[in-house]
A and B are shown apart, each in its own frame.
Chain A
């Protein structure tokens, strides 16, 4: 009986040490915080002024003290703006669009570069950025499935209580309209050039894009 008790206690003694290793690992990870490059460098690389960069960084650091945003935090932040529906799918695509280095986290530089393109870039830059957002698998083409995914994600953000009530195939109709407009040679995929040309022809869209110039 004593032997039994002895072996049982030995078992339990091993477990805490293993747990402790894991905790140490996690501690290490959280303590590594990232510091961005200097202000002047960022100012040179982006189209923002120093003051704007300061404001941006303060907001960024406030929400993510460790200096990097991972996908969870990003989804959480984005969901705060859309309380009606579920913004996580769209946030996922946005995250991938911002995470240009594909390492699962957004540093301040990535964040600022993305914003610089969106807010201060040329029309072509913006359209390219949008194209990359839609092109989920980064193969240079937007096919129907990718577009349906994106449109569905956008509709998810609306939530359940909409007027008129969302029926099942509304995203599909939307995708069909989109492809009719964009896919010039009707080959079922939209390339970057087709996209850019089609968008530049659409006056409404051009006007809408200019709306967000003075967001900062």
Chain B
């Protein structure tokens, strides 16, 4: 229940009088205010600054330090005030939380100090209200990142127990880890540069030979260049093989872009080695040499900027595609127009539409080589329109690409926001849980038998709910003192139940009720009893709640009969219980249907063992005991075994 509206609880309870004429059943007794005292002011002395508030204000949140009896530990007898040796400035926001129901995070406050204060006073940070929650989360994230960065800088020594392979991979990926890695890094960089320069210089004309022909250096100093090439390819091959060996996932490494570049860089050499003798394919061989230029891309391992550029282009693919598409459209249109315009003129260079493409491209990009010019007037007019529109068409997609680049530059910040969204979802989930917590709190207190002795009339059906002996002690341990507010709220909900003659159950029981009504088709042991009770459905979980004292006697011996023989629902539970205490307490209530044990209903299989003859004659004879022997789950479902049987009678 939102404690902010705690003040309206008396109103809600008074309004419950409106249900009375409609109700068919008597109402439960209201919880009384045992120590009924006037609302008093209490003084909270926080490091000398005195705050005063009503006691009721603090009681609104009974699961915090100030709202519970924990504050009595800080009570100072002489001065009759509660003394806390904490920061008075932070305490302001904490006290405001009690007053207004909203927790705010002051901006000037240090995030870790604030967190400590919240932890001390038992307030969870998730309830910070929306106005301050963004700020809080941002500051918290920055703080943790900064702390983590500091940690990472400190750990220079490599973690122990790294295999040789892992060390190698780490050296390859992060050259700063060791000197060997750094040396390797620079050596490969040097050789990439050498290889690229070699390829370039190979084609430079290198002085004349006696037969008056300029030949490129590559053909003049063939052996030298061949040796250089071989050396570089050796180095690259060794590097590639070493990386392949060290990679944690070889398949993934082979698929990565960098390794493909490596392969493409060294392949031409080997293919060239194989093919030197065959003159026919020398043309293809020459083409292959072009691929040697890909070695320059190996530099991207060395340069972060190149990688970002590559990534930008990759992610701007759609914008680039749009640019290309619009350009193509314009080119085709103008080329067609120019072709038909220039068709008439003699000796026109515009021999076909594809030939006009070249003119259009050169004009639209404002290059204007001048190798093709229109001669007719119509051609000139359309030519000028073409060049004007070229400027526009090219200028439009470019800002898109530029903005994409800046988007990628901020991409790491967006990744953080995505993380924050997950956190937001987690927060909403937590708030939903706490809201659901108020509803489950009622169901929990019901099952714990806290509603005993709250019955107004003494009908036999509503006798004291005694749990079977085995779990009585656990029950008593579990009964924590609920605040008066909570008990009054639960009383209100209980009245509603009595008014409508239906009970609140949680989702699982509800679904189970569905399942078991479906199983009604099996020959029921005591059809008459169900009509006796006047309860719809023959769900035995309903009956298990009414545990009668008389049943305890027959409990043990009918137990063995029924458990094995009756048709049962086996519910295979998943793993054990979450921290939610209400659920764990349900474990120990034997009269509960065992499915409540399951956090996530695993496998639900109906296992029909047998339909026995009714062993229930003895208890049927008992006039005031309602239903039949209830085959409930065994008294203490051992946490290990995950199969819980619920029988459907």
Interface residues of A (CB under 8 A from B): 51, 55-56, 58-60, 62-63, 77-78, 80-84, 94, 97, 111, 115, 118-119, 126, 129-130, 133-134, 150-151, 154-155, 157-167, 170, 174, 177-178, 182, 195, 199, 204-205, 207-209, 211-212, 214-216
CB neighbours of B506 from chain A (8 A)? 161
Interface size classification for chain B: 35 or more
Q: Do residues B496 and A59 form an inter-chain contact, with CB atoms below 8 A?
A: no
Q: Do residues A165 and B13 form an inter-chain contact, with CB atoms below 8 A?
A: no
Task: Point out which of B19, B438, B539 has the most chain A C-beta atoms below 10 A from its C-beta.
Answer: B19
CB neighbours of B492 from chain A (8 A)? 81
Asked if B184 is at the interface (CB within 8 A of a chain A CB), the reply is no
A sample of 19 inter-chain contacts (CB < 8 A) reads: A62-B99, A63-B4, A63-B5, A81-B5, A94-B18, A115-B11, A118-B15, A130-B17, A154-B500, A155-B502, A162-B510, A164-B536, A164-B537, A164-B542, A205-B23, A208-B456, A211-B29, A211-B30, A211-B456
User: How far is it, in angstroms, between the C-alpha of A166 and the C-alpha of B504 when the chains are bound?
Assistant: 11
- Interface positions, chain B 490-509, Cβ under 8 Å from A, are 492-493, 496-497, 499-500, 502-507, 509
A80 in contact with B1 given A154-B499, A211-B27 (CB within 8 Å) = yes
Q: Do residues A161 and B510 form an inter-chain contact, with CB atoms below 8 A?
A: yes
Selected contact of A59 from candidates B7, B536, B541, CB within 8 Å: B7
CB neighbours of B489 from chain A (8 A)? 81
Selected contact of B14 from candidates A60, A160, A212, CB within 8 Å: A212
Q: Do residues B509 and A55 form an inter-chain contact, with CB atoms below 8 A?
A: no
Q: Do residues B509 and A163 form an inter-chain contact, with CB atoms below 8 A?
A: yes
Task: Point out which of B23, B435, B509 has the most chain A C-beta atoms below 10 A from its C-beta.
Answer: B23
Asked if B32 is at the interface (CB within 8 A of a chain A CB), the reply is yes
- Interface positions, chain B 48-92, Cβ under 8 Å from A, are 54, 56
User: How far is it, in angstroms, between the C-alpha of A9 and the C-alpha of B450 when the chains are bound?
Assistant: 69
Which 3 pairs between the two chains have the least Cβ-Cβ distance? A59-B7, A118-B14, A208-B27
Q: Do residues B26 and A165 form an inter-chain contact, with CB atoms below 8 A?
A: no
Q: Do residues A62 and B7 form an inter-chain contact, with CB atoms below 8 A?
A: yes
Interface residues of B (CB under 8 A from A): 1-2, 4-27, 29-30, 32-33, 38-39, 54, 56, 99-100, 435-436, 438-439, 456-457, 489, 492-493, 496-497, 499-500, 502-507, 509-510, 513-514, 517, 535-537, 539, 541-542
A205 to chain B, nearest CB (A): 5
CB neighbours of A119 from chain B (8 A)? 10, 14
Q: Of all chain A residues, which has the CB nearest B100? A: A62
Q: Of all chain A residues, which has the CB nearest B32? A: A214
Q: Of all chain A residues, which has the CB nearest B514? A: A165
Q: Do residues B9 and A81 form an inter-chain contact, with CB atoms below 8 A?
A: yes
CB neighbours of B456 from chain A (8 A)? 207-208, 211
Q: Do residues A51 and B496 form an inter-chain contact, with CB atoms below 8 A?
A: no
User: How far is it, in angstroms, between the C-alpha of A150 and the C-alpha of B19 when the chains are bound?
Assistant: 9
Q: Of all chain A residues, which has the CB nearest B511? A: A161
CB neighbours of B535 from chain A (8 A)? 164
A195 to chain B, nearest CB (A): 7
B597 to chain A, nearest CB (A): 18
Q: Do residues A51 and B38 form an inter-chain contact, with CB atoms below 8 A?
A: yes
CB neighbours of A115 from chain B (8 A)? 10-11, 14
Beyond the given A134-B21, A154-B19, A215-B30, could you list 19 further A-B residue pairs with CB under 8 A, ordered by the A residue number? A62-B4, A63-B4, A63-B7, A81-B1, A84-B504, A115-B11, A119-B14, A130-B21, A150-B22, A158-B496, A158-B497, A161-B507, A163-B505, A163-B513, A167-B536, A178-B22, A205-B21, A209-B17, A215-B13
CB neighbours of A161 from chain B (8 A)? 504-507, 509-510
User: How far is it, in angstroms, between the C-alpha of A51 and the C-alpha of B492 when the chains are bound?
Assistant: 24
CB neighbours of B542 from chain A (8 A)? 163-164
B253 to chain A, nearest CB (A): 53
